[in-house]
Structure formats: structure tokens, C-alpha cells
Amino acid sequence: MTPSHTSIPPHHSSRRRAITVALTSLQMVLILGALALPAAAQGWDRVRSGAESTIFFKAAIPLTSFRGLTFLESLDRSAALHFNNFEATSTQTVGGGIAKPLAPGLTPEEIAVVKTAIRRGNVRLAVYSIPAIGAGETAARALFQFAKDLNIQTIVSTAAPAALPLIHKLAAEFNVNVALTAIDAQDRTDRIGICADASAPPPERLMAVRLAGISPPRLREFLLAAYRLKARPVVILPPTASGDPISDLAAKLDAYEAAITPAMAEYVAELGRTTPIRNLDTHTRLTAEQKADAREKMNAALPAQPPAKPGRPRKLLVFDLQVGYPGHPSIPYANYVLQQFGTKTGVWEPTFSNDLANFQYERLRRYDAIFLNNTVGLLFNDPDLRASIVRFLMEGGGLVGYHASTHASIDWPEFTEIIGASSGAHREATEKVTVKLDDPASPLNAAFGGQPYISIDEHFRWNNYSRRRVHVLLSIDVPNSDLNQGRGCDICTRDDKDYAISWIRIYGKGRVFYTSLGHGPAEFMDSKILGHMLAGVQFALGDLAADTTPGNQPAPR
């Protein structure tokens, strides 16, 4: 799976429509229930969603915040929050003509109504709260079956000591977690933990935490301590007490976002210190012969001379860290050509490192440009590092990003402004399009000899890219390309039919070059693409002058 579909926040426009359908009739619900659930999005647009797949902290909104509403009505109202995870309770009425509480005892048809509302709304019941779990096996088994039917991750409750053996048995049998408000340390297991509040240090086997009346500094301290304990809690936000629940819950989500950021920043910093740069020598899926063949082809494709003579010795920081994504296969190939071209021509000295300490300003200022090698995920969480990168560029540093680097730090709006777009949907990874030169005179396009060319690559489409921000170098020649190849993509079409591939821009005094080319290794064995990319690096370093006027239109055919 590629970032185009995993990184885009889930669409909630269908939730209201889906719940309305669920209320019409049980027969229609059962038909809809057979439809496949859309793939869950892996959220990189927010720390709170990205934390789920990295440090395994999952926030949940209590549906009781929507006072006086049924479960189905609450799901409907919650669509405005654009959030996935919720806490349901055994005291809330189902709704939609079902006057029963959301609890064991619903008929299969009624369960189908609930499941359809959850599935079609693309939401999850991360937590289900019930006052107590008794020692009677019939009732307890019905509870766990109910949780399994609704794909509930964690039951939060209380239990008498006599019920613990049964809870341990059923939690393992049904693969459902149980967070109890009071439990001895010796009774905690991978499936059975504690539900705490944040007023005291996090306990061992923390499984859920309720937030209420906690100051922001205390909450940050608690979550960071929980991360260091390697806890994986569901964090239940406080319910709304008064006022507009949507505004109140949105503010609470933002407060949680700020509180979880230090833990995420610590995780990414440690990941960077321990993640080696990718190279062909350590590539485990290639034989020695395949590695030698790849090197031979890349060496043959490298330009014999650089586009420009360096004004002074240049230093390039190359960074290929991925957060929450395994990374593209082209990464070690890009590292190889950057090393080889620098060694062959002397135009730059590359430093290959994923240590985020290099982005501290006193270190970063030693470099002339940063090369983001197909990076994905929540990379720059630390506010100091963000300020350092902005200062570096404003004072004249350079930035190069290729392919998936628009999927890096999409939670940081200024980075979107810097690089020119964020995220990016696509169709097939082998989409064949004709590429036109929007600026044939640009030295970054010299390798194409003034002619369009055929590209077989994974071509992104952005809904937040604009020519008002950047100077476009390459784009898809729409009249001469089939834009409906392979799998569907409902967000791949722009009304203006402007699908840029490469661009440059000035940010402060700094220079930015981005190209979506380079999904696969073959692009680094193509002399035209390499000539284009390496010229882009020299532009970012400050050695290759080029027109950066934003808003340029394609050259006439």
C-alpha cells in the first residue's frame, strides 16, 4: 500500500447518509452490512491520529458528550469532528427505532443496525464502558460476544475479585482488552490492565486513562511518562458538560494533540538515532548480481558533468527516515546516486544521517541544503526543530524533496507551504503519462532536450497545490494522457486539470525543489530523470540559477 490512500484523512461526508440508511429498515441494513468496510486511513495529518500506529496511543471521544441523543444520533453529530474513535456506554439508547440500551441483549438484526452505522460512518468503538462485570459466566460471555461483534477494542469497567478468573479467560478467548478501575498488579496481563486517571503517575499495565480536570503541563507529563513505560492506552477525553459539544470536543482534541506531541517527538528522535540510512549494500531482497547490475545502470545514467560549477564547497544533508510507513524501494537507489554524483563531480559532499539532532540550528547551518529522500510521516514534531528548519530556509538554505516527501509532516501547515503541497493521491504505481515541459528554458529541464517524454511512475495529484505558490517545471500533458488507468481514485481529478510533477520556489532566501518522480528504482537508471533531479539539487544548494517566478503557465504546444 502506498501513501496516497493511507495518509488521506477518512471522508466523513458519507456518515450522515449511512446512518440515515441504517434507520430506514432492518432489511436494508442487512443488505448494506454485506458491503466491505473501506480501508481504515492511517492518519498523518494529526499527531493524535499518527500516534495510533506509532506509539499506540489512541484517543476516544465519549458519545455521552451529546447529551440527550441516542447512540446513532451521536454518531451523526460527531461527523463534524472528523474523528474516528469513540467511547460508547451501556446506558445510551441505540436509537433509530431501537429503544433498547447499547448493551448485550440486542437481537442480531439490531446488532446489524449498529454495525452498519459504525462501518458506513468509518468509525470505531475504541472503548465500551459498563458499570460492572459480574462473575456469572452467561452474562459475562454475552458481554464479550457483544464487544467482539462490534469490534470494540477495550471494555472499561469494575469487577469484584471473584470475577477476575472469568474475565481473564474471556478476554483471551475473545481477544478483547479489559481495563478495570481497580486491580492488583499481579492480576494485570497483556489483555487485562488498569483504567486510571491522570492525577497520579501512570501505573504499570495502563490500558485506559480518563482525562478530567488535568492541567496541560500535567497531562503532557503523564502521557510522556506513560510512553516511557511502553503503555498503549486508550485516552478517553472528558465528556462535554455544557455548551456546544462540537466546539468543546474540538478544543479537547486540540489540547490532547498538544499534550501527546512531546511523546511523539521523543519517539521520532529515538527512531532517527537508531534507524540507519538505506543503501544497496544492506538491501536484503537483492542478490549480489542484481546490486551490481543496478549500480552499473545508475552509473551509466549519471550526467558526465554537473549543470553548474559550485560557487564553493557544498554540503548536503540526506535524510530518509519514515514514521509509520515502511518506505519506498527507490530510497537506497537515490542515496547511491547522490553519493556517486558527489564523488564523481565534486559538486557536493553528502552526509547521510537520520539523526534529528542534525536539524538543530547550530548543526543545520553547516549544510547548504536538505535532501528529503522519499520521506513519509510525522517527522518534525519538536517545535524547536520546526523553527530551526524555517530559519535555515529563510536565511538561504535549500530543500529538495522527491516523490512521497509531500507526505512528510502534513500536520505542520508551514511545511506544506514550504514544499508546495501535502499528501497526494494517485492511481496506479505504473501510470503511463506524457510529461510536458512547462518551462523548457529552465536549466533544471535541460536533460529533456526541449521535448516531452513518456513517464511510467506513480503520479500524485494534490488538492492543495497551486501555481500561485510555485514555479512549475513539469506537468502531465492531459490531452495526451489517459488519466483513468487502473484502480479508481475519487480525489484524483482537479477541475482545472493541472497536474504538476516538478516545481521550484523561493521561501524567504531559501530555494526549494520538488518532484513527484521516483516511486521506483527504475527512475534512478533513467538519464533524463537523473539529470532533472540532480540539477534540482544544485538549484537548492545555490549553484544553479533558475527562474522561480510563481504562476507560470505551460509553454504553448
- Rounded mean pLDDT of 294-308? 97
Query: Which of the four pLDDT bands, split at 50, 70 and 90, describes residue 1?
Result: very low
What are the CA-CA distances from residue 556 to residues 179, 303, 440, 483, 552 (Å)?
65, 29, 10, 21, 12
What is the C-alpha separation between 403 and 426, in angstroms, rounded? 11
Q: Is residue 549 part of a domain?
A: no
Q: Is residue 551 part of a domain?
A: no
Q: Minimal CA–CA distance to 133: which of 85, 93, 99, 90?
A: 90
Q: Is residue 557 part of a domain?
A: no
Higher model confidence: residue 240 or residue 443? 443
The domain boundary residue, chosen from 270, 292, 308 = 270
One DSSP character per residue, 304-372 reads SS-SS--SS--EEEEE--BSSS---TTHHHHHHHHHHHHHHH-S-EEEE---GGGGSHHHHTT-SEEEE
* Same domain? 360 vs 317: yes
Q: Which amino acid is at 44?
A: W
* Same domain? 252 vs 294: no
* Same domain? 102 vs 168: yes
- Rounded mean pLDDT of 148-168? 95
The domain boundary residue, chosen from 212, 235, 270 = 270
Query: Which of the four pLDDT bands, split at 50, 70 and 90, describes residue 184?
Result: confident
* CATH code, domain with 120: 3.20.20.150
pLDDT of residue 37: 24
Q: At 9, list the grid cell.
A: 484523512
* Same domain? 236 vs 375: no
What is the C-alpha separation between 71 and 73, in angstroms, rounded? 5
* Same domain? 99 vs 175: yes
pLDDT of residue 16: 40
- Rounded mean pLDDT of 528-557? 92
Residue 11: DSSP 8-state: P
pLDDT of residue 258: 96
Query: In angstroms, how far is CA 385 from the centroid of its own chain?
Result: 19
What is the C-alpha separation between 116 and 538, in angstroms, rounded? 54
The domain boundary residue, chosen from 244, 270, 296 = 270
Angle between helix axes 137-149 and 108-120 (nearest 10 degrees) is 40
Q: Is residue 109 part of a domain?
A: yes
* CATH code, domain with 472: 3.40.50.880
Q: Is residue 547 part of a domain?
A: no
- Rounded mean pLDDT of 50-72? 95
| Chain segment 94-146, per-residue pLDDT in tens | 999 999 999 999 999 999 999 999 998 899 999 999 999 999 999 999 999 99
pLDDT of residue 20: 38
Q: Is residue 177 part of a domain?
A: yes
| Chain segment 269-289, per-residue pLDDT in tens | 999 999 999 999 988 889 999
Residue 24 confidence (pLDDT) above 90: no
* Same domain? 255 vs 359: no
Q: Is 443 exposed, middle or buried (0-12, 13-18, 19+ CB in 10 A)?
A: middle
* Same domain? 292 vs 334: yes
pLDDT of residue 533: 97
* Same domain? 120 vs 181: yes
- Rounded mean pLDDT of 444-470? 95
Q: Is residue 32 part of a domain?
A: yes
| Chain segment 334-356, per-residue pLDDT in tens | 999 999 999 999 999 999 999 99
* Same domain? 173 vs 152: yes
Q: Which domain holds residue 494?
A: 276-541
What SS3 class is residue 390? Answer: helix
Q: Is residue 231 part of a domain?
A: yes
Positions of E strands within 201-292 = 206-210, 234-236
* Same domain? 48 vs 188: yes
pLDDT of residue 40: 29
Q: Are 26 and 109 in contact (CB under 8 A)?
A: yes
* Same domain? 414 vs 339: yes
| Chain segment 399-425, per-residue pLDDT in tens | 999 999 999 999 999 999 999 999 999
How many structural domains comprise the chain?
Answer: 2
* Same domain? 171 vs 290: no
What is the C-alpha separation between 54 and 358, in angstroms, rounded? 22
